[in-house]
Amino acid sequence: MPREHQPAFNAPRVITVTLVVLAAIHLVRFFLSDEADLELLLRFAFIPARYDPSFPYADELLGGEGAKVWTFVTYAFLHGNLTHLVVNGVWLLAFGSALAWRFGTSRFLVFSALTAAAGAATHLALHYGEATPVIGASAAISGHTAAAMRFMFESGGPLDVFRRGGREAFLIPAEPLRTSLRRPQALIFLLVWFGGNALAGLGSTTIGMGDASIAWEAHIGGFIAGLLLFPLFDPVRRGVRPSSQETFDVLPPSRHPPHDDGTGAAGRP
């Protein structure tokens, strides 16, 4: 049987749309005046000083009480410069795609919002009262990376030498975290990722737009949230391998069990 043709650009639709939205927002900001762009930052960037009642310039932080809620997520849609956007876009395409193929659109979007919020909360805990705005999708993408690590290195997974073909590789049941961390590939990846962020913490945390920053603490907060939240969102259960057409917008295996075609292999229903 001929192998299924895979297009050169094979990203889930939710990833493609997200990349377009991020690029469009950045393009719009390029045409804004400095004053208008500053107002946008003051309304949608995550600013720890917003939560400090003693901050003397609280009236200048736009958005009122609502901004204390929505900026936990909206900061992820803003980027300091083109390099910042491109780097995040590449990581989103790599690890976000793997997770979106597994989770489906709805789970992926909720998971992304929660990991972005976890990154912001981590930064707030360590920088309470600071006026420097935090921007960038890095915390959410760090959550994607942590979650993808749970299944990408497993036998038959996307990065395994003997991986399954096509999208079915993204539906390999995940091992428990303790077991997964015993895999040399996963352990090395984890050490390199945390080491890279630790080195970033020793250097500058600002990127573009004056003092707007991408904070390494937010990356780590998003990453840890991704590890912990993964089993709560994962629709693939141990002992069940959904068929390849059950990838995007995956439903729990109990509702769509693999079909036995009589040969002992899971086939199409």
pLDDT of the residue at 252: 41
Q: Say which range, 19-33, 233-247, 253-267, has the weakest mean pLDDT.
A: 253-267
Q: Provide the 10 A C-beta neighbour count for residue 112.
A: 27
pLDDT of the residue at 201: 52
Whether 205 maps to a domain, the answer reads yes
Whether 80 maps to a domain, the answer reads yes
Whether 248 maps to a domain, the answer reads no
For 66, the domain range is: 13-240
Of 258, 79, 84, 250, residue with least CA distance to 151: 250
- Tell me the pLDDT tens digit for each residue of 72-114: 999 999 998 898 899 899 999 989 998 999 999 999 999 999 9
Asked whether 137 and 84 are in contact (CB, 8 A), the reply is no
pLDDT of the residue at 54: 84
pLDDT of the residue at 27: 95
Whether 78 maps to a domain, the answer reads yes
**3-state SS, residue 54:** coil
Whether 246 maps to a domain, the answer reads no
Cα–chain center distance at 161? 25
Asked whether 93 and 114 are in contact (CB, 8 A), the reply is no
CATH for 108? 1.20.1540.10
Rounded CA-CA distance 185/180 in Å is 9
- Asked whether the predicted pLDDT for residue 193 surpasses 80, the reply is no
Would you place residue 173 in the very low, low, confident or very high pLDDT band (cuts 50, 70, 90)?
confident
Whether 217 maps to a domain, the answer reads yes
Would you place residue 26 in the very low, low, confident or very high pLDDT band (cuts 50, 70, 90)?
very high
Total structural domains within the chain: 1
In sequence order, what are the residues at sequence separation of 6 or more whose Cβ sits closer than 8 angstroms to the Cβ of residue 254?
Answer: 237
Of 147, 85, 73, 74, residue with least CA distance to 116: 73
Question: Mean pLDDT: which of 5-14, 47-56, 108-117 is highest?
Answer: 108-117
Environment class of residue 189 by beta-carbon count within 10 Å: exposed (0-12), middle (13-18) or buried (19+)?
middle
pLDDT of the residue at 10: 75
Q: Say which range, 63-77, 88-102, 122-136, 225-239, has the weakest mean pLDDT.
A: 225-239
Environment class of residue 220 by beta-carbon count within 10 Å: exposed (0-12), middle (13-18) or buried (19+)?
buried
Give the residue with greater pLDDT, 145 vs 192: 145
As a whole number, mean pLDDT of residues 215-231 equals 89
Whether 254 maps to a domain, the answer reads no
Whether 250 maps to a domain, the answer reads no
